[in-house]
């Protein structure tokens, strides 16, 4: 899954970086968070339940546990229809540097 379109806004956003510094988050949580932001900027966040097991090579209960840790850190919340990232990126538009969002 390409993250070219969302990495720059995430890495340049001081608020996101401060939230990701939360000690409850391990590298896998940060990777999943980056993936969720990538899905959000590409308009595919609702596909997280199908894509995360493939991306992580894990069964859904393992993915759910990772999402729960991210939720405990305050970076996402569950909704009736799925999940929502609690902090919206200042630059909500994906960059088309690799062409995958074009």
* Residue with token string 């850190």: 73
Which of these, 30, 36, 14, lies nearest to 73 by C-alpha position?
30
Which of these, 4, 5, 36, lies nearest to 20 by C-alpha position?
36
* Terminal alpha carbon distance of the chain: 15
pLDDT of residue 1: 47
- Tell me the per-residue pLDDT of 10-32, one tens digit each, with 9 for 90 and over: 777 888 888 888 888 899 998 99
Phi, psi of 30 (to 5 degrees): -70, -40
pLDDT of residue 22: 85
- What is the distance between the alpha carbons of residues 40 and 46, in angstroms, rounded to a whole number? 8
């Amino acid at each position: 899954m390409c993250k070219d379109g969302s990495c720059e806004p995430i890495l340049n956003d001081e608020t996101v970086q401060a939230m990701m510094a939360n000690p409850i988050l391990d590298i896998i949580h940060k990777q999943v968070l980056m993936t969720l932001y990538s899905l959000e900027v590409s308009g595919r966040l609702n596909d997280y339940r199908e894509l995360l097991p493939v991306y992580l090579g894990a069964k859904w209960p393992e993915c759910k546990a990772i999402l729960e840790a991210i939720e405990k850190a305050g970076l996402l919340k569950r909704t009736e229809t799925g999940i929502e990232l609690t902090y919206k990126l200042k630059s909500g538009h994906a960059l088309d540097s690799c062409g995958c969002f074009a």
